[in-house]
Structure 1
Amino acid sequence: MNTLQNKMWNKNFNLVIIGQIISLFGSAMLRFALSLYVMDLTGREDIFAGLFAISNIPILLSPLGGAIADRFNRRNLMVIFDFSSSFVVLVFILLLSQNSHSILLIGVVMVLLSVISAMYTPTVTASIPQLVGESSLAGANGIVQAVQALSYVVAPVCAGILYGMMSVQALIAVSGAAFFLSAVMEIFIKIPFTKRQSEGSMLKTIGRDMKEGFVFVSKQPFILKSMLIAALINFILTPLFVVGGPIILRMTMKSTDSVYGVGMGIIQFANILGALLIGVLASKIIMKKVYIWILAIAVILIPLALSVTPMMLEFGFYPSFILFLISAVPIAIIMTILSIYVITKVQKKTPNENLGKVMAIVMAVAQCVAPVGQVIYGFLFRAFHAQVYIPLLFVSVVMFAVALLSQRILRNEIA
């Protein structure tokens, strides 16, 4: 690796990050605009929720995207995927201009864009280790994660403002332009690529590559342990904020719209802060000591539960709200730090020719468990709607168990 690549902020990494900012911003704006558009057309939030759930199914294609990322030039793939997204958006705008406003059309567009995203994400993740030095890898992953989290905060705000100022077609066109601009910028990225020999048809080659990825993961105890830890954290904690946060703030604490937005925004910024801190903290974290961080989450969940007890709620809204945020912010920070740290360790232990496949498998497993957790939390919070602190205390106990499990399975890891 040359001197330029040893520095995190080199030209190629900068272009990847700028491309990510533009592409993710366009994607987040489009998703938000479509949510408003569907609700305006139907007056029903549940229809969009169903479309959203269906559009998440293509995440299962991530291993295929990883195999493709290991077989072809990753720079070219990023360019193709962003151009493809802009083309889908262009066709969508043309159909809208012909008064084709069906929910089915919107669903098809969302699924197509999700399929492209399932291919795009492992390509970017596999490219990062080729663009920065090993010592800067954790920080680089943190920047990528921070950009993603920031797009989820800023893009909906911009889309909400623009939605009231222009037609939905114009707003969708802005998103399409963002994909196109990102693709153009990515053309100037240089990512090392060595063409690999293929036997038989490309379809059979990709199939063998996917099998090779699963076999490689199954024979790597460290990767299996890391995948288990990442999946447990995503299964238990991510849905807590996605489902539990809105329920606690809106239904239990009965916050106003503006205060609710502030609360959820602060938690999102905590994720960004965690992503930025990983560059400083990565060298201080040891894999076999990860359980201490998980133990800290288990402990912090106790005051989080306390914030929604009847006794605390009797003191009024703001004491409960402040205690909730004081507890939720460090949990969100630690979650993000651990997630990026585990991903970075797996990247360092995976050969470049398997990097896309392995990262796609790890991320697919970790992300696929989150919807299951969301369903479970939905049932728990509904069953204990008058005693929301009970599910939170239960989660604290579960995280104590996860900490003990992590201590046991990672005790022999020396780094």
Structure 2
Amino acid sequence: MKKGFSKNFYLVVIGQIISLFGNAVIRFALPLHLLSVTGSAALLGVVSGVAFLPLVVMSPIGGLIADRMNKRNIMVVLDFFTAGLVLLFLVLSGRGSLVSLILIMLFLLYGISGAYQPSVQASIPLLVSEEAVMPANAIINMVSSLSGLLGPALGGIAYGLWGITPILYVCMGCFFLSAVMEIFIHIPFVKRVRTDTLLHETIADMKSSLIFIGREKKEIGKLTFCCAAVNLFLSALMIVSLPVIVTQVLVFPRNNASEMYGFLEALMAGGGLLGGLGAGLLSKRLNVRSTWKLLFCCGMLLLPMGAALYKGLPVYLAYLILAVSGILIMAMASLYTIQVMSYIQITTPPGLIGKVISWIIALSTCAQPLGQIMYGFLLEHLRGMLWIVFVVTAAATMLFARWNRRVAQRL
């Protein structure tokens, strides 16, 4: 096991690269195709918003399955199933309602993602040495960030050149190739003997994971809420505010707001990659007890972003302030999440890892759309005073960081 990583871990990473790239492309291309065909932005918003629900529902279920079945088999089956799903979509295209087909497809894709990720996260402590858990998480995080960056970019270019059908064939090939490769992964697994009905055992498993988070290891429950808070305050604000500010508030001399927003999105994704790289390179120097400092710095960085929205500031200077602050916030948020996730993986018993991680994914996933709704409302009603949103969020983030400090000191 070189540097704490096993051959099987590298195979998981390669499978993630292929599978996540295909998933990112198809989840970007399908809504774009819907908008292109129907021309309805409202319909796009409804379909995209509702499609997140299966991710929330399936994450806890995926955690239960991950702790009871061979994690390798889960990955293989879900990738083969996704490839078959894309093929079925290709066959049914043009034979029914496009809106219904895309909605069902996105529902299933997000549901599969919710069931898939707990297996990947739960397998990491089984495939690497304890000191390599944080670098391993950093690698998985960077793969996810890179897929989220390149998938939509390449998907948008490919859709403009060739349309939806070739994209679907490529994605189907990605899922099929990933599934075949994952067959050769070996993840340690001890089969549990069933002592009761499936329903009773499922309820008992859910109860045991909640008891572990809420009573036996309260710090993990509190850290879970901290991760959700990062999505609620920071991620949601970045997602909702930046397109509004760049395309509707800042007035660029060359009338190239869309282009400038595209650059800014790429820079934000680069910030996430930077955080993952930092976690991998500095893993031996990082301590989960100090993670509150990252949240506090994120809150501080929101203040210059608010200051950039004052009238009279040169537009490109305001843009530069937003870009630099945003990159640093995304890097620190990524670094924070990786450290917290690594601590939870190391301290959670093997039989509970999948379920505990699934609760983190579910709560974090719920928090982000709630934050987006909240900030959407605030940005709409405070259009002339957007700096207030950043100042209030900065104060809330720094207060949350102080609470996080008390939690981390007990670890």
- By the TM > 0.5 criterion, same fold? yes
Contact 1:142 1:279 in 2 (8 A): yes
Aligned to 2:356: 358
C-alpha distance in 2, partners of 1:185/1:102? 33
Secondary structure, counterpart of 2:188 in structure 1: coil
Q: How does 1:13-412 map to 2 (within 5 A)?
A: 13-58=9-54, 59-96=56-93, 98-219=94-215, 220-255=217-252, 256=256, 257-312=258-313, 315=314, 317-412=315-410
Structure 1 residues 258 and 167: alpha-carbon distance in aligned structure 2, compared to 1, 3 A threshold: closer
Contact 1:347 1:355 in 2 (8 A): yes
C-alpha distance in 1, partners of 2:124/2:228? 22
C-alpha distance in 1, partners of 2:228/2:60? 16
Give the C-alpha shift of residue 105 in structure 1. Answer: 1.4
Secondary structure, counterpart of 2:185 in structure 1: coil
Structure 1 unaligned regions, length at least 5: none
Give the C-alpha shift of residue 168 in structure 1. Answer: 1.7
Give the C-alpha shift of residue 94 in structure 1. Answer: 0.4
Question: Structure 1 counterpart of 2:150, which letter?
Answer: V
Structure 1 residues 5 and 203: alpha-carbon distance in aligned structure 2, compared to 1, 3 A threshold: farther
C-alpha distance in 2, partners of 1:283/1:222? 22
C-alpha distance in 2, partners of 1:105/1:333? 37
Aligned residues: 405
C-alpha distance in 2, partners of 1:99/1:167? 18
Contact 1:79 1:183 in 2 (8 A): yes
Secondary structure, counterpart of 1:241 in structure 2: helix
Give the C-alpha shift of residue 266 in structure 1. Answer: 0.5
Give the C-alpha shift of residue 352 in structure 1. Answer: 0.7
Secondary structure, counterpart of 1:311 in structure 2: coil
TM-score calculated relative to the size of structure 1: 0.94
Structure 2 unaligned regions, length at least 5: none
Question: Structure 2 counterpart of 1:309, which letter?
Answer: Y
Q: Deviation above 4 Å: which 4+ runs of structure 1?
A: none
Q: Deviations over 1:332-369 (max 9, x none)?
A: 11000001110110111101111100111122112211
Structure 1 residues 409 and 401: alpha-carbon distance in aligned structure 2, compared to 1, 3 A threshold: same
Secondary structure, counterpart of 1:283 in structure 2: coil
Give the C-alpha shift of residue 34 in structure 1. Answer: 0.7
Contact 1:75 1:186 in 2 (8 A): yes
Between 253-262 and 138-147, the greater mean CA deviation after superposition: 253-262
Question: Structure 1 counterpart of 2:225, which letter?
Answer: L
Contact 2:31 2:102 in 1 (8 A): no
Contact 2:206 2:355 in 1 (8 A): yes
Question: Structure 2 counterpart of 1:234, which letter?
Answer: N
C-alpha distance in 2, partners of 1:6/1:348? 17
RMSD, matched Cα: 1.5
Give the C-alpha shift of residue 104 in structure 1. Answer: 0.9
Structure 1 residues 142 and 178: alpha-carbon distance in aligned structure 2, compared to 1, 3 A threshold: same
TM-score calculated relative to the size of structure 2: 0.95
C-alpha distance in 2, partners of 1:402/1:239? 16
Q: Deviations over 1:101-159 (max 9, x none)?
A: 42011111111121111110101110111111111111111111111111111111211
Question: Structure 2 counterpart of 1:236, which letter?
Answer: F
Q: Deviations over 1:45-70 (max 9, x none)?
A: 22122111111101222111101000
C-alpha distance in 2, partners of 1:328/1:169? 36
Contact 1:309 1:389 in 2 (8 A): yes
C-alpha distance in 1, partners of 2:157/2:288? 44
Question: Structure 2 counterpart of 1:298, which letter?
Answer: G
Contact 1:299 1:396 in 2 (8 A): yes
Secondary structure, counterpart of 1:332 in structure 2: helix
Question: Structure 1 counterpart of 2:193, which letter?
Answer: Q
Q: Deviations over 1:375-415 (max 9, x none)?
A: 110011111111211111111111121122122333333xx
Structure 1 residues 16 and 26: alpha-carbon distance in aligned structure 2, compared to 1, 3 A threshold: same
Give the C-alpha shift of residue 5 in structure 1. Answer: 7.2
C-alpha distance in 1, partners of 2:195/2:336? 39
C-alpha distance in 1, partners of 2:365/2:359? 10
Contact 2:57 2:111 in 1 (8 A): no
Q: Deviations over 1:11-62 (max 9, x none)?
A: 2111111111111111111112112210122101221221111111012221
